[in-house]
């Protein structure tokens, strides 16, 4: 589609934070609005009840990285506007995707060992990133994120 003479590409990201996430790529401006699958100030807000899944968030972040073009050896290239936080570049999204992937893998390993949700929370799979993304109060806490990852990996028919 076009808006103000600029080509805009809408990319549906199924089963990410919900089942309705969309990346909006402003082609001429080289800007992508990432919505809630990417944030510079907190963990992704995964709403399992509304179709969200940690693997969908990772797939969405991979799609975002595929769309972005980095400027070699410097900060720059495609500008990425997160759902919350500062404007970023491809490298910032790669770091965030890696964090979500590592947390997912840690939780998955604990689930495979038969750990309960409370045991998984006590293991603190997000410890490395708590200073940057963690929160014990507010609308989305570290505990809520860990629970969402746990629930997305243990629900029947999960991805």
How would you label 136-149 residue by residue, b for 16+ Cβ within 10 Å and e otherwise? eeeebebeebbbbb
- At residue 151, the 3 state secondary structure works out as helix
Distance CA(127)–CA(98), nearest Å, equals 14
Q: Tell me: the pLDDT tens digits for 94-126?
A: 999 999 999 999 999 999 999 999 999 999 999
Tell me which residue of 151, 153, 154, 105 sits closest to 128, measured CA to CA.
Answer: 105
Q: How far is CA 86 from CA 11, 40, 93, 126, 153, in A?
A: 21, 6, 12, 22, 30
Q: Tell me: the pLDDT tens digits for 26-69?
A: 999 999 999 999 999 999 999 999 999 999 999 999 999 999 99
Confidence (pLDDT) at 159: 47
Tokens at 88, concatenated = 């970023």
- At residue 32, the 3 state secondary structure works out as strand
| Sequence spans of domains, the chain | 2-154
Tell me which residue of 121, 123, 108 sits closest to 159, measured CA to CA.
Answer: 108
Report which of residues 102 and 19 the model is more confident about. 102
pTM, full prediction = 0.92
């Amino acid at each position: 589609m076009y808006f103000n003479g600029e080509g805009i590409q809408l990319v549906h990201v199924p089963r990410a934070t919900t089942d309705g996430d969309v990346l909006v790529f402003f082609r001429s401006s080289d800007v992508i609005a990432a919505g809630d699958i990417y944030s510079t100030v907190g963990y992704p807000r995964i709403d399992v009840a509304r179709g969200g899944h940690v693997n969908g968030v990772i797939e969405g972040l991979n799609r975002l990285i595929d769309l972005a073009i980095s400027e070699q050896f410097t900060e720059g290239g495609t500008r990425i506007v997160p759902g919350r936080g500062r404007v970023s570049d491809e490298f910032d999204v790669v770091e965030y995707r890696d964090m979500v992937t590592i947390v997912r893998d840690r939780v998955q390993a604990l689930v495979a060992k038969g750990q309960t949700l409370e045991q998984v929370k006590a293991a603190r799979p997000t410890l490395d990133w708590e200073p940057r993304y963690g929160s014990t109060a507010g609308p989305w806490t570290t505990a809520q994120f860990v629970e969402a990852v746990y629930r997305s990996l243990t629900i029947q028919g999960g991805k």
